[in-house]
């Protein structure tokens, strides 16, 4: 089973920041948090991952709480092309498996 819980859906206005929350209260100390997104009928696209520090790349920022029980993916200026299902995944310790949950369906509107 997935070790994360996410809201089923969210809306965001184009040009605004999209903040996608994820709870992972049972995460272990050496398990990473990964974010992927899947645009309709395509393979998932890697966005970002982190262990305990906040991370930023050209796509997004990842904010992980100090207790590591939750995190937030931030798309700073959402565009219509960011409409997708966003998956927050805890990679199991010492394995290479990614267990996908149900994700958050983000709808960016004009």
Partner 1 sequence: GAVVSQHPSRVICKSGTSVKIECRSLDFQATTMFWYRQFPKQSLMLMATSNEGSKATYEQGVEKDKFLINHASLTLSTLTVTSAHPEDSSFYICSASLDNQETQYFGPGTRLLVL
When asked if residue 87 is in the footprint of partner 1 (CB under 8 A), the reply is yes
- 82 CB contacts (<8 Å, ≥6 apart)? 12, 18, 37, 75, 106, 108
Among 44, 50, 75, 86, binds partner 1 (CB under 8 A): 44
Stretch that binds partner 1, among 20-28, 63-71, 75-83, 95-103 (CB under 8 A): 95-103
Closer to partner 1 by Cβ: residue 4 or 70: 4
Among 49, 55, 63, 107, binds partner 1 (CB under 8 A): 49
Closer to partner 1 by Cβ: residue 12 or 89: 89
Which tokens belong to 23?
């709870």
Angle (CA) 12 106 46, round 5°: 120
Rounded distance between C-alpha atoms, residue 29 and residue 51, angstroms: 8
When asked if residue 43 is in the footprint of partner 1 (CB under 8 A), the reply is yes
């Amino acid at each position: 089973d997935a070790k994360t819980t996410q809201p089923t859906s969210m809306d965001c206005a184009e040009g605004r920041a999209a903040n996608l929350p994820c709870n992972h209260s049972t995460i272990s100390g050496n398990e990473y948090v990964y974010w992927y997104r899947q645009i309709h009928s395509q393979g998932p696209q890697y966005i970002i991952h982190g262990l305990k520090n906040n991370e930023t790349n050209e796509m997004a920022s990842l904010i992980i709480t100090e207790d590591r029980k939750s995190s937030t993916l931030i798309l700073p200026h959402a565009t219509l092309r960011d409409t997708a299902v966003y998956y927050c995944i805890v990679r199991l310790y010492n394995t290479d498996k990614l267990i996908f949950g149900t994700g958050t369906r983000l709808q960016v509107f004009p």
